[in-house]
Amino acid sequence: MPSRFRGVPGIRAVSAYRREWLAKDLVAGVVLTTLLVPQGMAYAELAGLPAITGLYTTILCLLGYAVFGPSRILVLGPDSSLGPMIASTVLPLVAADGDPDRAVALASMLALMVAGIMILASVAKLGFIADLVSKPTMIGYMNGLALTILIGQLPKLLGFKVEADNLIGECVGLVREIADGAAVPAAAAVGIGGIALILVLQRFLPKVPAVLVMVVLAIAVAAVFDLDEHGVNLVGVLPEGFPPFTIPDVRLADVAPLLGGAAGIALVSLADTISNASAFAARTGQEVRGNQEMAGVGAANLAAALFQGFPVSTSGSRTAVAERAGARSQLTGVVGAALIVLMLVLAPGLFRNLPQPALAAVVITASLSLADVPGAVRLWHQRRAEFLLCFAAFAGVALLGVLPGIAIAVALSVLNVFRRAWWPYDTVLGRVHGLEGYHDIRSYPQAQQLPGLVIYRFDAPLFFANAKTFRDEVRRLAGADPRPSWIVVAAEPMTDVDTTAADILEELDEALNADDVHLVFAELKDPVRRKIERYGLTRTIDPRHFFPTVEAAVTAFRLRTGARWTSLTTTEPPGEPGPGAAGPASPDGK
């Protein structure tokens, strides 16, 4: 084996494969296929594409990830969270007649772009970008996505269509059509019954393949009762054989909107991949290699794009099925891909009697698993500010659409980080009887303080956006009555000071010195201290006013002034000895 190929994950997996894994991988591959086929078809239609493209996509992405993906059992495929994003990107570009060939070409180009983004991100080691979406905003985004999918699939579940551009329009159209009697009773019975059956089996018999059982029963019911004659749409005979190698051909004007959609899809896919890889790697004792995971997902999307497929991501539910079935390697996915190929070649009519409402039931139950209503309720009780972020992301998806929703989720996450740095927590510290160190006087109102000394903590790096906030608070403290002579900044949280903040510090120190108030720093990190010296701040801030610890600054102040600890809220006499960090007060002030 040439050395240049030994770094390919699939080659390494083959060389390290154990014979005792074979039987388990084969069985797991068969079990997994029973889920891959109906979900692949359902998620293709969720994306606004022919059902057969879901099977093409499933085959190629499994093979692509088996070669280039680092995880032993992670399963990729069409995903319910990506379906609406693909549809919202592709369908507006398709002509009014809804040409399916053009839709497939656009979706394949979208997958090609996602592949390029993921592979470039892997080379540039940009896996950290997944952290741009905070958990509260992701909860809101997924809840909005679940609602969007649910409302969008209800007409298909009930046997009619609704033409609308947004969630509100779909809701209005849904109510109007139901009121006009457009619902097909047989379709509604199949769809609602399918949802009920899946949910019951998943709840009480989790080891039973609920989706497969529902699909088989739906096909049987459709054949026995001739549901197509009762107004129920069926999948029909799938195209026979394997798709040809195809380079997507799209118009130049379509590239820009496709690229925007690809960026959003890549971000969601990256977040899914990192979270799923981390969860399953912890169970199998593997290490998560984020950049290799991105390369693997990129390769899977590239393979799908070249054979009439659409963007894919990792699937936690399908990976869990493979794991429970005993999967030990990516051979499980290869077996699943091979079985789907055999089905297309030998039995393309196997799903011809599958009712479309049954596929809608598959999608709706998948959307319910995306939602995290308890998580949103928990945010309401624990932190209202993050609940508002969650709700804003939810409203963005529900009211503006899936792609604007992910943009809003990312923007809100970044702005929330900036908000915390702009208005960080700050407080005055004091000595608490019975506790070591210095503590927040808001939490300990009985804390003692030294007359003439204020210990102030600002919990953020000092930079252009928050330097004036810091300055204004220090000025307020300096203007107190009685006026302090030292303001000691407990600077351990200050991991940086930029040039704008340095200029503001210089002006602040000069103004304080004019009022005989001195700005003192304690616990300033060495790199930050060197920056301050490089900025020339020691021209105004006395170099002797930098202390290694708050305790050292307090001791220096007491030696200079003889101040003794006092408290206005306790009965403890001023100067009463205590075990605080400053040690007991003594007559000479030490």
DSSP summary character for residue 588 = T
**Torsion sign over Cα 130, 136, 137, 138:** positive
For residues 45 and 364, give the distance between their C-alpha atoms in angstroms, rounded to a whole number: 12
On the question of a cis peptide bond just before residue 482, with omega within 30 degrees of 0, the verdict is: yes
Give the largest CA-CA distance in the chain. 102
**Torsion sign over Cα 435, 437, 443, 449:** positive
Buried b (16+ CB within 10 A) or exposed e, 87-118: bbbbbebbeeeeeeebbbbbbbbbbbbbbbbb
Phi first, then psi, for residue 73 (nearest 5°) are -130, 0
112, 308 contact by CB (below 8 A): no
| Helices (H), ranges, 161-289 | 167-179, 185-204, 210-224, 255-284
For residues 504 and 556, give the distance between their C-alpha atoms in angstroms, rounded to a whole number: 26
For residues 152 and 188, give the distance between their C-alpha atoms in angstroms, rounded to a whole number: 15
80, 147 contact by CB (below 8 A): no
Burial class (CB in 10 A: 0-12, 13-18, 19+), 279: middle
Burial class (CB in 10 A: 0-12, 13-18, 19+), 62: buried
**Cross-strand pairs, 537:** none
For residues 299 and 85, give the distance between their C-alpha atoms in angstroms, rounded to a whole number: 20
What 3-state DSSP class applies to 519? strand
- Residue bearing tokens 């020691």: 538
Q: Which are the contacts of 448, defined by CB distance < 8 A and separation ≥ 6?
A: 430, 431, 432, 433, 565, 566, 567, 570, 572, 578, 580
The whole-number pLDDT of residue 587 equals: 30
**Cross-strand pairs, 448:** 431
Written as one letter, the residue type at 550 is V
> How many Cβ atoms are within 10 Å of 433's Cβ, its own excluded?
17
For residues 381 and 387, give the distance between their C-alpha atoms in angstroms, rounded to a whole number: 9
For residues 305 and 60, give the distance between their C-alpha atoms in angstroms, rounded to a whole number: 9
- Kindly give the parts of the chain with pLDDT less than 70: 1-6, 95-98, 130-132, 279, 282-288, 568-590
Buried b (16+ CB within 10 A) or exposed e, 355-374: bbbbbbbbbbbbbbebbbee
Closest CA to 480 of 461, 459, 453, 504: 453
Q: Kindly compute the dihedral angle of the four CA atoms of residues 377, 378, 379, 382, in this order, to the nearest 10 degrees.
A: 130
The whole-number pLDDT of residue 94 equals: 85
Checking phi first, is residue 456 left (phi over 0); if not, alpha (psi -120 to 50) or beta? beta
